[in-house]
Protein backbone atom coordinates (compact mmCIF):
# COMPACT_ATOMS: atom_id res chain seq x y z
CA UNK A 1 0.00 0.00 0.00
CA UNK A 2 2.88 2.39 0.64
CA UNK A 3 4.04 2.01 -2.95
CA UNK A 4 0.49 2.48 -4.27
CA UNK A 5 0.12 5.73 -2.31
CA UNK A 6 3.48 6.98 -3.60
CA UNK A 7 2.49 6.17 -7.20
CA UNK A 8 -0.85 8.01 -6.83
CA UNK A 9 0.90 11.04 -5.34
CA UNK A 10 3.37 10.96 -8.22
CA UNK A 11 0.60 10.89 -10.83
CA UNK A 12 -1.26 13.82 -9.28
CA UNK A 13 1.72 16.12 -8.76
CA UNK A 14 3.52 15.23 -11.99
CA UNK A 15 0.36 15.89 -14.01
CA UNK A 16 0.22 19.41 -12.62
CA UNK A 17 3.96 19.98 -13.02
CA UNK A 18 4.35 18.73 -16.60
CA UNK A 19 1.11 20.35 -17.68
CA UNK A 20 2.32 23.65 -16.30
CA UNK A 21 5.49 23.56 -18.41
CA UNK A 22 3.44 23.11 -21.58
CA UNK A 23 0.91 25.76 -20.52
CA UNK A 24 3.63 28.24 -19.58
CA UNK A 25 5.32 27.74 -22.97
CA UNK A 26 2.10 28.10 -24.98
CA UNK A 27 0.87 31.07 -22.97
CA UNK A 28 4.22 32.81 -23.46
CA UNK A 29 4.00 32.08 -27.19
CA UNK A 30 0.49 33.60 -27.25
CA UNK A 31 2.01 36.72 -25.67
CA UNK A 32 4.53 36.95 -28.55
CA UNK A 33 7.46 35.85 -26.38
CA UNK A 34 10.66 34.92 -28.23
CA UNK A 35 12.28 31.45 -28.00
CA UNK A 36 14.89 32.96 -25.70
CA UNK A 37 12.19 34.29 -23.34
CA UNK A 38 10.50 30.90 -23.31
CA UNK A 39 13.86 29.29 -22.61
CA UNK A 40 14.40 31.71 -19.73
CA UNK A 41 11.01 30.82 -18.26
CA UNK A 42 11.73 27.10 -18.40
CA UNK A 43 15.20 27.71 -16.99
CA UNK A 44 13.56 29.33 -13.96
CA UNK A 45 11.86 26.00 -13.24
CA UNK A 46 15.31 24.63 -12.51
CA UNK A 47 17.28 27.57 -11.06
CA UNK A 48 16.33 27.26 -7.38
CA UNK A 49 16.16 23.45 -7.50
CA UNK A 50 19.73 23.51 -8.81
CA UNK A 51 20.80 25.49 -5.75
CA UNK A 52 18.63 23.83 -3.11
CA UNK A 53 18.32 20.14 -4.05
CA UNK A 54 21.25 18.92 -1.94
CA UNK A 55 19.95 20.81 1.09
CA UNK A 56 16.50 19.35 0.45
CA UNK A 57 17.95 15.84 0.31
CA UNK A 58 19.81 16.33 3.58
CA UNK A 59 16.65 17.68 5.21
CA UNK A 60 14.67 14.63 4.06
CA UNK A 61 17.42 12.35 5.40
CA UNK A 62 16.87 14.01 8.81
CA UNK A 63 13.10 14.48 9.08
CA UNK A 64 11.62 11.87 6.73
CA UNK A 65 9.33 12.50 3.80
CA UNK A 66 5.92 13.42 5.24
CA UNK A 67 6.43 17.08 6.15
CA UNK A 68 8.45 17.94 3.02
CA UNK A 69 5.69 16.38 0.90
CA UNK A 70 3.05 18.50 2.62
CA UNK A 71 5.05 21.73 2.29
CA UNK A 72 6.00 21.21 -1.33
CA UNK A 73 2.52 20.04 -2.36
CA UNK A 74 1.03 23.25 -0.96
CA UNK A 75 3.63 25.38 -2.74
CA UNK A 76 3.05 23.55 -6.03
CA UNK A 77 -0.70 24.20 -5.83
CA UNK A 78 -0.07 27.88 -5.09
CA UNK A 79 2.32 28.19 -8.03
CA UNK A 80 -0.31 26.82 -10.42
CA UNK A 81 -3.07 29.06 -9.06
CA UNK A 82 -0.93 32.19 -9.43
CA UNK A 83 -1.20 32.58 -13.26
CA UNK A 84 -4.96 32.08 -12.94
CA UNK A 85 -5.21 34.87 -10.38
CA UNK A 86 -2.71 37.11 -12.19
CA UNK A 87 -2.85 36.26 -15.92
CA UNK A 88 0.23 37.98 -17.32
CA UNK A 89 3.73 37.25 -18.55
CA UNK A 90 5.34 38.60 -15.33
CA UNK A 91 3.24 36.11 -13.32
CA UNK A 92 4.92 33.28 -15.19
CA UNK A 93 8.32 34.51 -14.04
CA UNK A 94 7.10 34.17 -10.43
CA UNK A 95 5.19 30.92 -10.88
CA UNK A 96 7.92 29.03 -12.75
CA UNK A 97 10.56 29.00 -9.97
CA UNK A 98 7.89 28.31 -7.32
CA UNK A 99 6.48 25.34 -9.23
CA UNK A 100 9.93 24.01 -10.09
CA UNK A 101 11.26 24.23 -6.54
CA UNK A 102 8.15 22.67 -5.01
CA UNK A 103 8.22 19.74 -7.39
CA UNK A 104 11.95 19.23 -6.79
CA UNK A 105 11.33 18.69 -3.05
CA UNK A 106 8.41 16.40 -3.84
CA UNK A 107 10.53 14.40 -6.29
CA UNK A 108 13.45 13.94 -3.87
CA UNK A 109 11.12 12.89 -1.04
CA UNK A 110 9.25 10.33 -3.14
CA UNK A 111 12.46 8.81 -4.51
CA UNK A 112 13.79 8.50 -0.97
CA UNK A 113 10.56 6.80 0.13
CA UNK A 114 10.65 4.26 -2.70
CA UNK A 115 14.32 3.44 -2.15
CA UNK A 116 13.62 2.66 1.50
CA UNK A 117 10.79 0.21 0.70
CA UNK A 118 11.19 -3.55 0.56
CA UNK A 119 14.38 -5.55 0.21
CA UNK A 120 17.39 -4.67 -1.99
CA UNK A 121 16.25 -7.34 -4.46
CA UNK A 122 12.91 -5.55 -4.85
CA UNK A 123 14.40 -2.10 -5.37
CA UNK A 124 14.62 -2.03 -9.18
CA UNK A 125 11.10 -3.45 -9.47
CA UNK A 126 9.78 -0.82 -7.03
CA UNK A 127 11.48 1.97 -8.94
CA UNK A 128 10.01 0.58 -12.18
CA UNK A 129 6.47 0.75 -10.79
CA UNK A 130 7.22 4.18 -9.35
CA UNK A 131 8.39 5.38 -12.76
CA UNK A 132 5.01 4.40 -14.18
CA UNK A 133 3.49 7.15 -12.08
CA UNK A 134 5.69 9.71 -13.83
CA UNK A 135 4.67 8.27 -17.20
CA UNK A 136 0.97 8.57 -16.41
CA UNK A 137 1.45 12.14 -15.21
CA UNK A 138 3.62 12.93 -18.22
CA UNK A 139 0.86 11.67 -20.51
CA UNK A 140 -2.05 13.39 -18.76
CA UNK A 141 -0.34 16.75 -18.16
CA UNK A 142 0.36 17.85 -21.76
CA UNK A 143 -2.88 16.32 -23.03
CA UNK A 144 -5.05 18.07 -20.43
CA UNK A 145 -3.16 21.33 -20.87
CA UNK A 146 -3.53 21.33 -24.66
CA UNK A 147 -7.24 20.51 -24.71
CA UNK A 148 -8.00 22.88 -21.82
CA UNK A 149 -6.29 25.76 -23.63
CA UNK A 150 -8.16 25.10 -26.88
CA UNK A 151 -11.51 24.55 -25.13
CA UNK A 152 -11.29 27.38 -22.59
CA UNK A 153 -8.21 29.54 -22.05
CA UNK A 154 -4.65 29.45 -20.73
CA UNK A 155 -5.91 30.91 -17.47
CA UNK A 156 -8.45 28.14 -16.81
CA UNK A 157 -5.90 25.54 -17.86
CA UNK A 158 -3.71 26.63 -14.95
CA UNK A 159 -6.67 26.31 -12.55
CA UNK A 160 -7.45 22.81 -13.84
CA UNK A 161 -3.84 21.73 -13.37
CA UNK A 162 -3.80 23.15 -9.81
CA UNK A 163 -6.58 20.72 -8.86
CA UNK A 164 -4.21 17.75 -9.22
CA UNK A 165 -1.59 18.61 -6.57
CA UNK A 166 -4.45 19.87 -4.38
CA UNK A 167 -5.98 16.39 -4.61
CA UNK A 168 -2.55 15.03 -3.73
CA UNK A 169 -2.60 17.02 -0.50
CA UNK A 170 -5.92 15.42 0.42
CA UNK A 171 -4.55 11.95 -0.34
CA UNK A 172 -1.39 12.68 1.65
CA UNK A 173 -3.47 13.67 4.68
CA UNK A 174 -5.71 10.60 4.44
CA UNK A 175 -2.82 8.14 3.95
CA UNK A 176 -0.16 9.86 6.03
CA UNK A 177 0.20 6.82 8.28
CA UNK A 178 1.32 4.75 5.29
CA UNK A 179 4.40 6.86 4.58
CA UNK A 180 7.73 6.85 6.46
CA UNK A 181 7.77 9.61 9.07
CA UNK A 182 11.37 9.28 10.15
CA UNK A 183 14.76 8.70 8.59
CA UNK A 184 16.63 5.55 7.78
CA UNK A 185 20.20 4.73 8.74
CA UNK A 186 22.21 7.59 10.16
CA UNK A 187 25.12 8.95 8.17
CA UNK A 188 28.58 8.51 9.61
CA UNK A 189 29.64 11.49 11.76
CA UNK A 190 31.80 14.17 10.20
CA UNK A 191 31.54 16.75 7.47
CA UNK A 192 29.26 15.76 4.59
CA UNK A 193 30.82 16.95 1.35
CA UNK A 194 29.32 16.57 -2.08
CA UNK A 195 32.77 16.00 -3.59
CA UNK A 196 33.08 12.79 -1.58
CA UNK A 197 30.05 11.49 -3.44
CA UNK A 198 31.36 12.60 -6.83
CA UNK A 199 34.67 10.80 -6.21
CA UNK A 200 32.85 7.47 -5.94
CA UNK A 201 33.22 5.93 -9.47
CA UNK A 202 29.89 4.11 -9.42
CA UNK A 203 28.01 7.22 -8.36
CA UNK A 204 29.87 9.46 -10.80
CA UNK A 205 29.08 7.26 -13.80
CA UNK A 206 25.40 7.07 -12.84
CA UNK A 207 25.28 10.85 -12.35
CA UNK A 208 26.66 11.47 -15.85
CA UNK A 209 24.25 9.06 -17.52
CA UNK A 210 21.36 10.51 -15.55
CA UNK A 211 22.33 14.04 -16.60
CA UNK A 212 22.41 13.15 -20.30
CA UNK A 213 19.01 11.45 -20.14
CA UNK A 214 17.56 14.40 -18.24
CA UNK A 215 18.88 16.78 -20.90
CA UNK A 216 17.15 14.72 -23.56
CA UNK A 217 13.89 14.69 -21.61
CA UNK A 218 13.85 18.41 -20.86
CA UNK A 219 14.89 19.46 -24.33
CA UNK A 220 11.86 17.59 -25.66
CA UNK A 221 9.53 19.47 -23.30
CA UNK A 222 11.12 22.77 -24.30
CA UNK A 223 11.54 22.38 -28.03
CA UNK A 224 8.42 20.52 -29.18
CA UNK A 225 5.92 23.33 -28.33
CA UNK A 226 8.15 25.78 -30.22
CA UNK A 227 8.74 23.43 -33.16
CA UNK A 228 5.05 22.51 -33.30
CA UNK A 229 3.97 26.14 -33.28
CA UNK A 230 6.43 26.98 -36.06
CA UNK A 231 5.03 24.28 -38.33
CA UNK A 232 1.46 25.37 -37.63
CA UNK A 233 0.17 22.81 -35.12
CA UNK A 234 -2.61 23.72 -32.68
CA UNK A 235 -2.18 23.50 -28.91
CA UNK A 236 -4.28 20.33 -28.71
CA UNK A 237 -2.27 18.70 -31.53
CA UNK A 238 0.97 19.55 -29.76
CA UNK A 239 -0.52 18.01 -26.63
CA UNK A 240 -1.35 14.82 -28.56
CA UNK A 241 2.18 14.63 -29.99
CA UNK A 242 3.68 15.06 -26.53
CA UNK A 243 1.17 12.60 -25.14
CA UNK A 244 2.57 9.92 -27.46
CA UNK A 245 5.96 10.46 -25.79
CA UNK A 246 4.40 9.91 -22.37
CA UNK A 247 2.46 6.89 -23.65
CA UNK A 248 5.75 5.35 -24.74
CA UNK A 249 7.35 5.92 -21.35
CA UNK A 250 4.33 4.26 -19.77
CA UNK A 251 4.43 1.29 -22.14
CA UNK A 252 8.13 0.63 -21.71
CA UNK A 253 7.97 1.04 -17.93
CA UNK A 254 5.05 -1.36 -17.79
CA UNK A 255 7.37 -4.15 -18.93
CA UNK A 256 10.38 -3.00 -16.90
CA UNK A 257 9.38 -4.81 -13.66
CA UNK A 258 9.45 -8.10 -15.59
CA UNK A 259 12.81 -7.25 -17.18
CA UNK A 260 14.44 -5.73 -14.12
CA UNK A 261 15.74 -9.04 -12.78
CA UNK A 262 16.95 -10.25 -16.20
CA UNK A 263 18.78 -7.28 -17.75
CA UNK A 264 21.82 -5.47 -16.36
CA UNK A 265 21.29 -1.83 -15.45
CA UNK A 266 24.12 -0.48 -17.63
CA UNK A 267 22.89 -2.45 -20.64
CA UNK A 268 19.51 -0.71 -20.40
CA UNK A 269 21.18 2.70 -19.98
CA UNK A 270 23.31 2.12 -23.11
CA UNK A 271 20.29 1.17 -25.22
CA UNK A 272 18.31 4.12 -23.86
CA UNK A 273 20.97 6.65 -24.82
CA UNK A 274 21.40 5.14 -28.32
CA UNK A 275 17.66 5.08 -29.13
CA UNK A 276 17.20 8.64 -27.88
CA UNK A 277 20.14 9.94 -29.92
CA UNK A 278 18.80 8.38 -33.11
CA UNK A 279 15.30 9.76 -32.52
CA UNK A 280 16.57 13.31 -32.00
CA UNK A 281 18.62 13.17 -35.20
CA UNK A 282 15.44 12.55 -37.24
CA UNK A 283 13.15 15.25 -35.80
CA UNK A 284 14.16 18.15 -38.11
CA UNK A 285 13.13 16.11 -41.16
CA UNK A 286 9.56 15.50 -39.97
CA UNK A 287 6.53 17.82 -40.07
CA UNK A 288 3.62 15.36 -40.44
CA UNK A 289 1.73 14.73 -37.21
CA UNK A 290 1.69 10.88 -37.44
CA UNK A 291 5.45 10.81 -37.99
CA UNK A 292 6.02 13.31 -35.16
CA UNK A 293 3.98 11.05 -32.90
CA UNK A 294 6.02 8.02 -34.00
CA UNK A 295 9.31 9.79 -33.32
CA UNK A 296 8.00 11.03 -29.98
CA UNK A 297 7.02 7.47 -29.11
CA UNK A 298 10.50 6.20 -30.05
CA UNK A 299 12.12 8.90 -27.96
CA UNK A 300 9.80 8.06 -25.06
CA UNK A 301 10.87 4.41 -25.23
CA UNK A 302 14.52 5.43 -25.07
CA UNK A 303 14.28 7.99 -22.30
CA UNK A 304 11.61 6.14 -20.35
CA UNK A 305 13.29 2.81 -19.84
CA UNK A 306 16.40 4.05 -18.04
CA UNK A 307 15.11 5.91 -14.98
CA UNK A 308 14.42 2.87 -12.76
CA UNK A 309 17.89 1.54 -13.55
CA UNK A 310 19.55 4.88 -12.84
CA UNK A 311 17.80 5.20 -9.48
CA UNK A 312 18.78 1.66 -8.53
CA UNK A 313 22.42 2.31 -9.46
CA UNK A 314 22.42 5.48 -7.35
CA UNK A 315 20.67 3.99 -4.33
CA UNK A 316 22.91 0.91 -4.24
CA UNK A 317 26.06 3.07 -4.39
CA UNK A 318 24.84 5.61 -1.79
CA UNK A 319 26.60 5.77 1.60
CA UNK A 320 24.36 4.81 4.51
CA UNK A 321 22.20 7.70 5.70
CA UNK A 322 22.94 9.83 2.63
CA UNK A 323 20.42 8.39 0.18
CA UNK A 324 18.35 11.57 0.11
CA UNK A 325 21.48 13.64 -0.36
CA UNK A 326 22.51 11.50 -3.34
CA UNK A 327 19.10 12.06 -4.93
CA UNK A 328 19.60 15.75 -4.15
CA UNK A 329 22.98 15.78 -5.92
CA UNK A 330 21.41 14.10 -8.94
CA UNK A 331 18.61 16.65 -8.89
CA UNK A 332 21.12 19.51 -8.64
CA UNK A 333 23.03 18.23 -11.66
CA UNK A 334 19.82 17.70 -13.60
CA UNK A 335 18.58 21.18 -12.78
CA UNK A 336 21.91 22.75 -13.67
CA UNK A 337 21.42 21.37 -17.16
CA UNK A 338 17.73 22.33 -17.04
CA UNK A 339 18.72 25.92 -16.24
CA UNK A 340 21.43 26.27 -18.86
CA UNK A 341 19.96 24.08 -21.59
CA UNK A 342 16.80 26.11 -22.37
CA UNK A 343 18.82 29.33 -22.40
CA UNK A 344 21.56 27.92 -24.62
CA UNK A 345 19.30 26.03 -26.98
CA UNK A 346 16.76 28.87 -26.98
CA UNK A 347 19.47 31.22 -28.20
CA UNK A 348 20.72 28.61 -30.71
CA UNK A 349 17.19 28.03 -31.99
CA UNK A 350 16.55 31.75 -32.37
CA UNK A 351 19.80 32.18 -34.34
CA UNK A 352 19.96 29.02 -36.46
CA UNK A 353 16.58 27.32 -36.23
CA UNK A 354 15.50 24.08 -34.56
CA UNK A 355 17.59 21.69 -36.68
CA UNK A 356 20.96 22.33 -34.98
CA UNK A 357 19.27 22.06 -31.58
CA UNK A 358 18.01 18.55 -32.33
CA UNK A 359 21.32 17.42 -33.86
CA UNK A 360 23.47 18.74 -31.02
CA UNK A 361 21.37 16.87 -28.49
CA UNK A 362 21.63 13.76 -30.64
CA UNK A 363 25.42 14.02 -30.56
CA UNK A 364 25.47 14.27 -26.75
CA UNK A 365 23.25 11.21 -26.34
CA UNK A 366 25.12 9.02 -28.82
CA UNK A 367 28.44 9.92 -27.18
CA UNK A 368 26.92 8.96 -23.84
CA UNK A 369 25.82 5.62 -25.31
CA UNK A 370 29.43 4.82 -26.25
CA UNK A 371 30.64 5.66 -22.72
CA UNK A 372 27.82 3.69 -21.08
CA UNK A 373 28.68 0.68 -23.24
CA UNK A 374 32.24 0.77 -21.95
CA UNK A 375 30.96 0.91 -18.37
CA UNK A 376 28.66 -2.03 -19.08
CA UNK A 377 31.57 -4.10 -20.39
CA UNK A 378 33.66 -3.30 -17.29
CA UNK A 379 30.77 -4.25 -15.00
CA UNK A 380 30.43 -7.77 -16.45
CATH number at 295 reads 1.20.1250.20
More confident residue, 122 or 158: 158
pTM: 0.72
The Cα–Cα gap between 77 and 145 comes to: 16
Residue 86 lies in a domain: yes
Burial of 352 (0-12, 13-18, 19+ CB in 10 A): exposed
Residue 189 lies in a domain: no
The arithmetic mean of pLDDT across residues 211-236, rounded, is: 83
Residue 88 lies in a domain: yes
**What is the pLDDT confidence band of residue 95, given thresholds at 50, 70 and 90?**
very high
CB atoms within 10 A of CB 120: 10
Predicted local confidence at residue 52, as pLDDT:
85
Confidence check: pLDDT of 350 > 60: yes
Residue 183 lies in a domain: no
DSSP 187: P
**What is the pLDDT confidence band of residue 118, given thresholds at 50, 70 and 90?**
low
Residue 185 lies in a domain: no
Predicted local confidence at residue 317, as pLDDT:
74
Predicted local confidence at residue 169, as pLDDT:
93
From residue 275, alpha-carbon distances to 49, 248, 311 in Å are 28, 13, 20
Predicted local confidence at residue 352, as pLDDT:
74
Question: 132: domain range?
Answer: 2-176+198-379
Q: How many domains would you assign to the chain?
A: 1
Angle subtended at Cα 206 by Cα 201 and Cα 209, rounded to the nearest 5 degrees? 125
Predicted local confidence at residue 380, as pLDDT:
62
Confidence check: pLDDT of 260 > 70: no
Residue 192 lies in a domain: no
Among the residue ranges 71-75, 141-145, 328-332, the one predicted with the least confidence is 328-332
End-to-end CA distance of the chain: 35
Confidence check: pLDDT of 331 > 90: no
* 291 Cβ contact list (under 8 Å, min separation 6): none
Amino acid sequence: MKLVVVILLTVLTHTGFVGSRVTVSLYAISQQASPFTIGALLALYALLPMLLAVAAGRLIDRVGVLRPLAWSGSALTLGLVLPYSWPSLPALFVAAPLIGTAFMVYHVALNHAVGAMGTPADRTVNFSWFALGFSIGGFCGPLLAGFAIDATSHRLAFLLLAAFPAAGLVLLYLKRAGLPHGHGARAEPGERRVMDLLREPRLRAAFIASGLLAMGWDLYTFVVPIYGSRIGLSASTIGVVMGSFAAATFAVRLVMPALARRVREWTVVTVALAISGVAYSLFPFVTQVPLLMALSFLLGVGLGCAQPMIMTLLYVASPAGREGEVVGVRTTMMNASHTLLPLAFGALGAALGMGPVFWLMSGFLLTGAVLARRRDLRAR
